Structure 1
């Protein structure tokens, strides 16, 4: 090899080694404050904010939104492994009020010595009251554009203040992480909606279609799933809610039921409970001139898991047929209530009927897409339920 080639090779190897160093912009973890959750409420400055503003920590703003930042300082992470800690020792909530989400986040630099790192935000909770006043795309615009917050972050709604859902009295729990776990329980409970991340929500909002977000309800000690919020596609604001029962019916229509139960009562008032083993749903759209209609066909097989009528033999074929009728009647009632709520009360399609029309009748869909909620509210929706009890469990006698 010539001397010239050797020189070129050495220079090339040196340049390659320089590219592998990778530690010039290092940020030590102990110098960071980890942000794990964000709550969004109607603007109401806290007493701490008011005192700071009176003493000079103020900038021009309108108090439209109060953000609650749930953080885990490095000191808390260090001490979390030293014995049992209460939740209040594992996290801290800080509030900032204003009208620019990003400005409020950056304002934290004037109140905390260690920068807030947003890479680990797990959940964003928006109160219904705020979503009723401000469009949801405006509330989420800064997090969708901020590279610090990952698009896998989940978005939830709260019936009360969002800040209340970011508080826990249970030992050893960080509320934001608990909320993430609740939102991902759709496979275990059919009245829990499939979680919506920022990535999914961005596309839905830009489509202009109405959609649902999981609701949360809070008490003094815990937070629980509580139905769903409806966001109107055109206004991008909260217009109402679905109950837990209606969310369950929504799961049956959408075909997302993986398990769960149906509870009803027999003619004597005894409890009957059906455990879902399998469930399938299909939706057929029909077009006749300007009339659009849908038919939902639901088929499910399951187990009679509970029967309070101890005199009735569980293996009796006549009784099984009668029980199937009770469960079908209950499921029909749930679906009827949901369709009435969607079509007649809120006049929105959150059951994804439009998706079936788009696939099955694309030309028709292109004509009605821009005014779909209004068109859906005038459409007829019918349904049939075929429920089979194929197992009565082990004998208790």
Structure 2
């Protein structure tokens, strides 16, 4: 009995209970956090916090109405670093910020240009930040403008933008990057990160809505410039990120102005380094399958020659996007955003060891041989165009 009593006492000492529990009514649920630096170099944080009492919607059967007021509040804080700015929220918010439901981190343009290493250090050390949170560079306005957008289908701006990101990922219409992806690129000496870009659209000086416009190119942790939508799409072709996306051709087989739209259902890209003496080049090959979904011309798709002509036009369009992307990252910004250096290291490690210390000088002048192959699988439910009598 004495032995049993001793065991019970020891076990009871080890049972500490729910020492770290947090009551739900003591938490402020963050749905969107923005980080930036001001002109003085101070770290700025902006958070969108849910107001649970105002989230209720109109109930049926005459059982009352919607809660008055917007269902969120926006708070801002600043400090000498992001940890201090975060701690300063305690002086104006009655609840403890809860970050584990947040899926987006908005990066202000000033911070992006000055370097986001300190921000990454802060969020990767804090266990409440999700490493799968999306990173978005915000331009055209402040983070406060973004958090207070007026035109939204959803109840609060964060949910609207999250839906836009998920649509982009599902339709390959824009570049999507999360913390893990960025850090992985940052820690790979042969690769440079890319982050999606969100632009705030204003009317009469007031922010109205936001839209995704291409991406932001980084050199290590600093943003060096913007990529257009076509340039961004070109990088996505090379990175094997294209599926279920639209491809619009604005001219016909004879050069006539027209619009024909296809959906890319499958794509594959391969990048192969070639070494001949002291010369390095890369073969960039892209193949894809598509379905026609709309045309404003009257092409007869029972004609094999017409199908081949439309495939050729698709190939030219995709090749143009890829070459535009290469011109931007290789010539304009001089950043290896696709990982050509990594491909060279994998196939020719000895050559890479000779070039890695001067890759920044060699890479902008490396020849890229781009080839594209398109196959049109289907034309929908009709092959012949509709003819009016």
- For normalisation by structure 1, the TM-score amounts to 0.84
Alpha-carbon distance change, 211 to 20 in structure 1, aligned in 2, over 3 angstroms = same
1:350 deviates by 0.8
> Counterpart of 2:102 in 1: which secondary structure?
coil
Between 1:383-392 and 1:206-215, the stretch displaced more is 206-215
Between 1:82-91 and 1:344-353, the stretch displaced more is 82-91
Q: Distance in 1 between matches of 2:361 and 2:127?
A: 37
Alpha-carbon distance change, 387 to 86 in structure 1, aligned in 2, over 3 angstroms = farther
Other-structure match for 2:219: 232
Alpha-carbon distance change, 25 to 256 in structure 1, aligned in 2, over 3 angstroms = closer
Deviations 1:298-335 (A, max 9, x none): 1111112222112x322211211111121111111111
1:107 deviates by 1.0
Q: Does 1:301 align with 2:276?
A: no
Q: Does 1:166 align with 2:159?
A: no
Q: Does 1:43 align with 2:64?
A: no
Alpha-carbon distance change, 218 to 23 in structure 1, aligned in 2, over 3 angstroms = same
Q: Distance in 2 between matches of 1:86 and 1:356?
A: 57
> Counterpart of 1:97 in 2: which secondary structure?
strand
Alpha-carbon distance change, 85 to 168 in structure 1, aligned in 2, over 3 angstroms = farther
Taking the TM superposition and a 5 Å limit, the aligned residue runs for 1:100-139 are 100-132=81-113, 134-139=114-119
Taking the TM superposition and a 5 Å limit, the aligned residue runs for 1:6-21 are 6-13=1-8, 15-16=10-11, 19=14
Give the structure with the higher percent strand. 2
Q: Distance in 2 between matches of 1:231 and 1:173?
A: 33
Deviations 1:227-251 (A, max 9, x none): 1101112xx3111111111111111
Other-structure match for 2:170: 188
1:135 deviates by 1.4
Q: Distance in 1 between matches of 2:308 and 2:188?
A: 45
Q: Could you list the runs of 5+ residues in structure 1 that have no partner in the other structure?
A: 1-5, 45-61
Other-structure match for 1:273: 261
Q: Distance in 2 between matches of 1:387 and 1:308?
A: 21
Q: Does 1:68 align with 2:54?
A: no
Q: Distance in 2 between matches of 1:127 and 1:367?
A: 38
Other-structure match for 1:338: 325
The size of the alignment, in residue pairs, is: 367
Alpha-carbon distance change, 85 to 254 in structure 1, aligned in 2, over 3 angstroms = farther
Q: Could you list the runs of 5+ residues in structure 2 that have no partner in the other structure?
A: 59-64, 202-206
1:24 deviates by 3.2
- For normalisation by structure 2, the TM-score amounts to 0.86
1:93 deviates by 0.9
Q: Does 1:78 align with 2:59?
A: no
Contact 1:314 1:320 in 2 (8 A): yes
Other-structure match for 1:353: 340
Contact 1:87 1:173 in 2 (8 A): no
Q: Distance in 2 between matches of 1:19 and 1:155?
A: 41
Taking the TM superposition and a 5 Å limit, the aligned residue runs for 1:355-374 are 355-374=342-361
Other-structure match for 1:57: none
Contact 1:213 1:230 in 2 (8 A): yes
1:346 deviates by 0.9
Q: Distance in 1 between matches of 2:5 and 2:372?
A: 75
Contact 2:54 2:68 in 1 (8 A): no
Contact 2:264 2:290 in 1 (8 A): yes
1:18 deviates by 5.6
Contact 2:267 2:286 in 1 (8 A): yes
Contact 1:191 1:227 in 2 (8 A): no
Q: Distance in 1 between matches of 2:9 and 2:100?
A: 33
Other-structure match for 1:58: none
Contact 1:187 1:259 in 2 (8 A): no
1:85 deviates by 5.6
Q: Distance in 2 between matches of 1:307 and 1:168?
A: 36
Contact 2:48 2:73 in 1 (8 A): yes
Contact 1:123 1:180 in 2 (8 A): yes
> Counterpart of 1:150 in 2: which secondary structure?
coil
Alpha-carbon distance change, 286 to 95 in structure 1, aligned in 2, over 3 angstroms = same
> What root-mean-square deviation, in Å, do the aligned CA atoms of Structure 1 and Structure 2 show?
2.4
Q: Does 1:215 align with 2:210?
A: no
Contact 2:79 2:88 in 1 (8 A): no
